[in-house]
């Protein structure tokens, strides 16, 4: 039986207090394929009350008990792996291969990382005669986005539970079905009543209510900087902790000593992954001025190799973007790039010629983009790459750091010492050298308007803990 019209509160699937529904759109068809219930303050109150009631007992569980629970959740997650991949593919248009290998995989990888981090985590430390104790912060409101549903759900839920917190999750109402499947995983794993709760709904009607709720001790939010500011302002009224992972406009510096063809080609692929819908996508490629036109030839070929089409096809590389709102925003920004004088290398406005429906965007590369252009400054969140010239390392670093964001940055070089020096000068929470594998144990989070706090593994567990000093403990 489908739980699409239910919420998960206090260990049970329940209907909303006030019935209201929202269509879930398949972006490849531009048609609704199911409905979800959307909540209200009354549903948030029920979920928070359940989490608050469960906290005293759960916060006192042993590390061994919480490890046992997380391992059981991982076991059930793996049993439902294909269901999760299929849900992500349909709700956000992710190609099914990508949904399996990246989207569903990310949830599993974060659960594994949280388990390993908890196994090694010490919750107390003696300093002289003082015992420093790390305790769960309390009831946590978790608000997650549509672009990496399982990545963001699991890298919040798993460390919160590892810390001994109880949670209320609001998945994105745009891509909510994978969150419902995840909630079924939590139920089947035997999560104690009230420890994990899930309410679907909109940001204003559910997310903002959670952020301002007096019985919520912490908000962990991932989404746009605009929405993050609203969440922070709302939470400030009750002086609760707010951890945020927000927008980005990440630079990718291809240094003169890099393997140029490889660096540019892989940079295009990294930018276009997930149809460009990643907050840490390397959307600004910085290349030596003398090799700019060479970079455009490589980038054009790499972009045009991306097959755009039906996400159910095993060989599709780019599916649609998630919604009409997102599609229209991307079109506006592509038009702005053309109007402001950037060189359109490939792609451009409209759908690919072979597609007449669905929110499909043409893989687009702009060359001769200059600092200050709209496409250089604004987060596009689509398969659009801007190639920018620099004169020397100092110029590259200056351009890279000239942004309100600071989530991620990338450096490509054939000389690791050179790459490390440049990486050390970049104002970003995570810097990747030469396209490494995804590291779910590395801290992830941003400088500046990309947010605060850090996610992944033990870094995330830190954020869900309070610090208590018991002075005189050893006297």
d(CA 450, CA 247): 5
CA-to-CA separations, 380 to 8, 283, 294, 376, in angstroms, rounded? 34, 9, 25, 9
Non-local CB neighbours of 340 within 8 Å, separated by 6+ positions = 373, 374, 375
Q: Please tell me the predicted confidence (pLDDT) of residue 99.
A: 98
d(CA 231, CA 209): 9
Tokens of 237: 């009224």
Q: Is the pLDDT of residue 230 over 90?
A: yes
3-state helix, strand, coil in the chain (%, to 5): 40, 20, 35
CA dihedral 273, 277, 281, 287 (to 10 degrees): 80
Instruction: Give me the percent of the chain exceeding a pLDDT of 90.
Output: 99
| Per-residue pLDDT reduced to its tens digit, 406-451 | 999 999 999 999 999 999 999 999 999 999 999 999 999 999 999 9
Q: Is the pLDDT of residue 475 over 90?
A: no
For residue 24, list its beta bridge partners.
34
Q: What are phi and psi of 6, to 5 degrees?
A: -120, 160
Nearest-5° Cα angle at 407, 101 to 369: 95
H-assigned helices in 323-392: 324-339, 374-377
Q: Please tell me the predicted confidence (pLDDT) of residue 325.
A: 97
Tokens of 48: 């928070």
Sign of CA pseudo-dihedral 215, 185, 87, 272:
positive
Q: Please tell me the predicted confidence (pLDDT) of residue 388.
A: 98
Tokens of 470: 């018991």
d(CA 118, CA 460): 11
Q: Is the pLDDT of residue 306 over 80?
A: yes
Q: Is the pLDDT of residue 474 over 90?
A: no
| Per-residue pLDDT reduced to its tens digit, 125-137 | 999 999 999 999 9
| Per-residue pLDDT reduced to its tens digit, 391-403 | 999 999 999 999 9
Nearest-5° Cα angle at 200, 199 to 204: 105
Tokens of 243: 């951890």
To 10 degrees, what angle do helices 260-272 and 292-304 make? 50
In order of their start, the domains of the chain are 7-246+450-470 (3.40.605.10), 251-440 (3.40.309.10)
Q: Closest Cα partner for 144 from 206, 70, 187, 53?
A: 206
3-state secondary structure of 157: helix
Tokens of 360: 């499909």
Q: Please tell me the predicted confidence (pLDDT) of residue 1.
A: 59
| Per-residue pLDDT reduced to its tens digit, 63-86 | 999 999 999 999 999 999 999 999
CA-to-CA separations, 473 to 62, 334, 467, in angstroms, rounded? 21, 63, 15
Q: Please tell me the predicted confidence (pLDDT) of residue 457.
A: 97
| Per-residue pLDDT reduced to its tens digit, 338-360 | 999 999 999 999 999 999 999 99
Sign of CA pseudo-dihedral 47, 52, 54, 59:
positive
Catalytic residue positions? 245, 279
Residue-wise burial string across 187-207, b where 16 or more C-beta atoms lie within 10 A, e elsewhere:
bebebeebbbbbbbbbbebbb
d(CA 306, CA 332): 22
What is the pLDDT averaged over residues 311-337?
97
pTM given for the model? 0.97
């Amino acid at each position: 039986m489908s739980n699409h019209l239910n919420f998960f509160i206090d260990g049970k699937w329940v209907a909303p207090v006030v019935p209201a529904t929202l269509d879930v759109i398949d972006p490849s068809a531009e048609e609704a394929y199911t409905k979800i219930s959307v909540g209200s303050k009354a549903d948030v109150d029920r979920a928070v009350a359940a989490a608050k009631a469960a906290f005293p007992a759960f916060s006192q569980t042993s590390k061994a008990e919480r490890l046992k629970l997380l391992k059981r959740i991982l076991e059930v997650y793996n049993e439902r792996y294909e269901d999760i991949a299929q849900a992500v593919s349909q709700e956000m248009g992710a190609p099914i291969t990508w949904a399996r290998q990246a989207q569903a995989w990310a949830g599993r990888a974060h659960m594994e990382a949280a388990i390993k981090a908890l196994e090694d985590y010490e919750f107390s430390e003696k300093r002289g005669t003082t015992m420093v104790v790390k305790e769960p912060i309390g009831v946590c409101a978790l608000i997650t986005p549509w672009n990496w549903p399982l990545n963001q759900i699991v890298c919040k839920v798993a460390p919160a539970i590892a810390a001994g917190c109880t949670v209320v999750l609001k998945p994105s109402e745009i891509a909510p079905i994978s969150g419902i499947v995840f909630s079924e995983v939590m139920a089947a794993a035997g999560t104690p009543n009230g420890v994990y709760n899930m309410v679907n709904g909109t940001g204003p009607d559910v997310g903002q209510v959670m952020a301002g709720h007096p019985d919520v001790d912490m908000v962990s939010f991932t989404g746009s900087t605009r929405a993050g500011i609203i969440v922070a302002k709302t939470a400030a009224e009750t002086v609760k902790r707010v951890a945020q992972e927000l927008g980005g406009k990440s630079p990718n510096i291809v240094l003169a000593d890099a393997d140029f063809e490889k660096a540019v080609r892989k940079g295009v692929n990294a930018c276009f992954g997930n149809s460009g819908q990643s907050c840490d996508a390397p959307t600004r490629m910085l290349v030596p001025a003398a090799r700019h036109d060479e970079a455009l030839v490589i980038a054009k070929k790499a972009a045009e190799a991306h097959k755009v089409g039906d996400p159910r096809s095993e060989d599709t590389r780019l599916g649609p973007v998630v919604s009409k709102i997102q599609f229209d925003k991307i079109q506006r920004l592509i038009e702005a790039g053309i109007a402001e004088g950037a060189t359109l290398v490939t792609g451009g406005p409209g759908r690919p010629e072979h597609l007449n429906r669905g929110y499909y965007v043409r893989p687009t590369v702009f060359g001769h983009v200059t600092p200050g252009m709209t496409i250089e400054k604004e987060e596009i969140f689509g398969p659009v790459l801007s190639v920018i010239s620099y004169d020397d390392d100092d110029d590259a670093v200056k351009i890279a750091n000239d942004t309100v964001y600071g989530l991620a940055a990338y450096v490509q070089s054939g000389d690791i010492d050179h790459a490390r020096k440049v990486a050390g000068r970049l104002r970003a929470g995570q810097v990747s050298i030469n396209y490494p594998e995804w590291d779910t144990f590395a801290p992830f989070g941003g400088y500046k308007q990309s947010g605060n706090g850090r996610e992944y593994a033990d870094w995330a567990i830190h954020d869900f803990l309070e610090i208590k000093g018991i002075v005189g403990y050893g006297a």
